[in-house]
Amino acid sequence: MGIDNYITLAVGFLLFITGFITKKRTGVYDWLYIILGFVIICIGILRAFGLIKLN
């Protein structure tokens, strides 16, 4: 697993967690961050296992 996969997973994780942190401040979840973070995490996992290639 290359460094780019770690970066992809880290960005996805940060977006995903940010969606839940906004619940404390605004009272509602930020679904855009949660969904976008989840999709990026999935892409990072699929790239780590070599199931997809993004150039």
User: What is the residue-wise DSSP string for 19-41?
Assistant: HHHHHHHHSS--HHHHHHHHHHH
Digit-coded pLDDT (tens) for 1-45: 678 888 889 999 999 999 888 888 888 888 899 999 999 999 989
pLDDT of the residue at 29: 86
Q: Is the pLDDT of residue 55 over 70?
A: no
Could you tell me where the beta strands, DSSP code E, fall in 1-55?
Answer: none
pLDDT of the residue at 1: 66
**31 close to 13: Cβ distance less than 8 angstroms:** no
pLDDT of the residue at 12: 93
User: 31-48 and 3-26 are packed helices; what angle lies between their axes, rounded to 10 degrees?
Assistant: 160
